[in-house]
Amino acid sequence: MEVIIQPNPSDCAAAGARIIGKLLEAKANAVLGLATGSTPLPLYGELVRMNRAGEVDFSGVTSFNLDEYIGLPGDHPCSYRYFMEQELFKDINIEPGRTHVPDGLADDVGEHCRAYEQAILDCGGIDLQILGLGSDGHIGFNEPGSSLGSRTRIKTLTGETREDNARFFDSIEEVPRHCITMGVATIMECRQIVLFAFGEAKAEIIATAIEGPVSAMVPASALQMHPEVKILLDEAAASRLKQKDYYKEVFAGKPSWQCF
């Protein structure tokens, strides 16, 4: 696990975009795992800029999103399909048929989840997964207590998660109670993972996930066991890390061949 601390979210986004750009330069048909919510917005803005400038090409890319609300059609303004179309897909040269988001209206949710897992395998697996971090330590919608061996499945959202997401709806009553999400084990099979977290409100859970014990009660802590994880934090989110100065020293002293 590499912890990278930058002054602000914009610098984190630029660093993350360079990581993705380096991957696509080496592998034009890479498979990307994507996330929604406010955290990845600076990253997506930077990727749009780079694509328009001819610095990165998405024409051969396939994408899989982490999750979707059950009960929302893809054209609902609060659905994650709609989010991705508005915030990224419509502004880059990715083929629409190569973008995958779980279907919140699937007739058979269990079968749809199995098919989603199979589609990832059929594409050769996810090369790089983007993650945000919930205030309770969830990744995707893998809430505290989720099995670390879990696969794509239906999950019931906690009250805390629904409250956190209520800002995107007119009221908390409109926030769905169920979702489809990639499992922790599905995420852990991705070849590379880049997690972003910003702000003082994420500082405590970041410290727990990075420097605390691995526990199903903090699903993000499972990332400690992954061989290729980068954690991109602004100064506020990194403020409670005990090893903060060491992480900065490591990043500043990276050999040239490891830089991005």
List residues with catalytic annotation.
67, 136, 138, 143
38: three-class secondary structure by DSSP: coil
Instruction: Tell me which H or E stretch contains 32.
Output: strand 31-34
What gap in Å lies between CA 67 and CA 179, rounded to an integer? 7
How many C-beta neighbours within 10 Å does residue 41 have? 16
| Residue 200 CB partners (closer than 8 Å, separation 6+) | 236, 237, 239
What gap in Å lies between CA 47 and CA 140, rounded to an integer? 21
Select from 248, 194, 257 the least CA-distant residue to 226.
194
**Residue pair 234/12 in contact by the 8 Å Cβ criterion:** yes
